[in-house]
């Protein structure tokens, strides 16, 4: 008899959970469109989000295969793909930045308030109207192209941005199971691919923020992860053209958002190990990765955006994120000693966080070079450092770390903790994008109604029989 038990739900159970999640996605979309019926619209959206999270959580016990999970992802994404922007209004910043770029101005230097139309600026969140774009030249090119194609029409623009996000998601779906195979967990290949897709791709944060929220993180992650797969597959036989193609894709991901560069450090270290290891080869491989990143950056900046995006990288940190642990000492100091002391503490803690990130990355790369951790694990660990110790945390930033971790974490407490964190962050922000300041009674009522519906669904689902097998 095996020392551990594997659990198999009955044949009907995964299908029931699939349609429960689909129903939740439909409710979420219906609530997003029924904005005039607040708080009922918000209650519908919260209930829908809760049903998806519940179905996803219970599917973690079912262990369905990868193909089944891909089909489920299509069903769950379909309603969200026709919803208005969910959880965030960042896509309206993209539209305004696209207008700036289409007028021949540099969106990394010129803010929407200066370079976009009054109608476009009115849709942008108040925090971002006077700030330049922090995104790389590849995404600025996408923004300009979408504006030129749509003539500035916001509905058509949102549709095209969502298509870009879906393209990024397709790359992620392709890459994550292959990263799991590279990571080589103890589970069979079929099982590890399914587990990686469940935690990494089907999880609610992907639905909410990559598809529903239309965030450009989808494109960044898709390019980064697919490039990592291609590059790592090229190393055993040193297929240089394939390695170059993977490095270029990672570099393009970094031209959307800079954190994708971490994958180049992983690939460079893996190349050094393949060439025999040692610090000399590590330095040579590292220099080659930096050179490749510079070449890609120069080529993508040739469209006229220049390198202003490097100066604008700090734009998101102009708003103090309450989710970022590095800001917590500042909030405490501000409550005790006043706002000026609090801001000074936040600035100091951010510098300390940056130092810890650099030190942590150095430790992880050293362990990878010596064979202590796999390439995929190293990527997940370094991305985790950037997310946890960075100056800003948004719920969708967790995906930077969750996607590679989903491919390498074996079944156990750490995988459970990551899944729990995803579930919490999936319900941490109200589903309907907007400012809820002064509307606390509406939020309380909506959450009460939504929780009641999800509780009833759980009462029904928990009675579905589960069979345990050796």
Question: CB within 8 A of 242, min separation 6: which ones?
Answer: 230, 231, 233, 234
- Rounded-to-integer distance, Cα 113 and Cα 156, Å: 22
pLDDT at 185: 62
Q: What pLDDT band is residue 328 in, cutting at 50, 70 and 90?
A: confident
Interstrand relation of 466-469 and 6-9 (parallel, antiparallel or unpaired): antiparallel
Which pTM value belongs to this model?
A: 0.90
Render pLDDT for 259-268 as a digit per residue (tens, 0 to 9): 999 999 999 9
Render pLDDT for 240-291 as a digit per residue (tens, 0 to 9): 999 999 999 999 999 999 999 999 999 999 999 999 888 999 999 999 999 9
Please determine, for residue 436, whether its predicted confidence score (pLDDT) is greater than 80: no
Question: CB within 8 A of 410, min separation 6: which ones?
Answer: 185, 186, 187
SS3 state at 468: strand
Share of the chain above pLDDT 70, in %: 88
Question: CB within 8 A of 343, min separation 6: which ones?
Answer: 320, 330, 334
Cα atoms in the Cβ-side hemisphere of radius 13 Å centred on 358: 5
SS3 state at 106: coil
- Rounded-to-integer distance, Cα 449 and Cα 430, Å: 14
Render pLDDT for 52-71 as a digit per residue (tens, 0 to 9): 999 999 888 887 888 999 99
| Average predicted confidence (pLDDT) for the chain | 86
């Amino acid at each position: 008899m095996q020392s551990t038990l594997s659990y198999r739900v009955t044949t009907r159970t995964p299908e029931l959970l699939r349609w429960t999640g689909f129903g939740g996605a439909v409710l979420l979309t219906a609530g997003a469109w029924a904005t005039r019926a607040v708080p009922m619209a918000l209650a519908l959206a919260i209930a829908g989000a809760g049903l998806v999270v519940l179905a996803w959580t219970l599917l973690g016990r079912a262990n369905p295969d990868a193909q089944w999970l891909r089909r489920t992802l299509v069903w769950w994404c379909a309603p969200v793909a026709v919803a208005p922007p969910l959880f965030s209004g960042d896509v309206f910043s993209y539209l305004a930045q696209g207008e700036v770029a289409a007028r021949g101005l540099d969106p990394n230097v010129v803010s929407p308030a200066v370079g976009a139309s009054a109608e476009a600026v009115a849709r942008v969140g108040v925090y971002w109207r006077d700030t330049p774009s922090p995104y790389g030249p590849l995404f600025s090119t996408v923004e300009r192209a979408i504006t030129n194609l749509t003539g500035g029409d916001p509905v058509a623009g949102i549709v095209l941005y969502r298509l870009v996000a879906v393209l990024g998601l397709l790359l992620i779906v392709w890459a994550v199971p292959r990263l799991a195979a590279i990571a080589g967990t103890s589970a069979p290949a079929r099982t590890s691919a399914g587990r990686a897709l469940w935690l990494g791709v089907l999880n609610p944060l992907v639905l909410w923020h990559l598809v529903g929220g239309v965030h450009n993180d989808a494109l960044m992650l898709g390019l980064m992860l697919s490039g990592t797969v291609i590059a790592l597959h090229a190393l055993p036989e040193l297929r240089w053209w394939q390695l170059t193609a993977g490095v270029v894709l990672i570099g393009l991901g970094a031209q959307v958002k800079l954190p994708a560069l971490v994958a180049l450090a992983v690939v460079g270290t893996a190349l050094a190990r393949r060439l025999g290891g040692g610090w000399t080869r590590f330095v040579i491989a590292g220099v080659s990765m930096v050179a490749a990143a510079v070449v890609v950056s120069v080529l993508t900046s040739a469209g006229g955006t220049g390198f202003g995006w490097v100066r604008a990288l700090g734009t998101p940190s102009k708003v103090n994120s309450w989710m970022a642990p590095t800001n917590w000492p500042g909030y405490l100091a501000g409550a005790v000693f006043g706002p000026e002391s609090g801001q000074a503490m936040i600035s100091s803690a951010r510098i300390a966080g940056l130092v810890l990130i650099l030190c942590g990355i150095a430790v992880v790369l050293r362990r990878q070079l010596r064979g202590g951790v796999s390439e995929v694990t190293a990527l997940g660990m370094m991305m985790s450092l950037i997310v946890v110790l960075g100056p800003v945390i948004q719920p969708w930033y967790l995906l930077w770390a969750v996607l590679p971790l989903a491919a390498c974490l074996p079944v156990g407490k750490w995988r459970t903790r990551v899944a729990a964190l995803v579930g919490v962050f999936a319900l941490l922000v109200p589903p309907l994008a907007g400012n809820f300041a002064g509307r606390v009674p509406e939020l309380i009522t909506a959450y009460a109604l939504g929780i009641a519906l999800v509780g009833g669904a759980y009462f029904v689902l928990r009675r579905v029989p589960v069979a345990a097998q050796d």
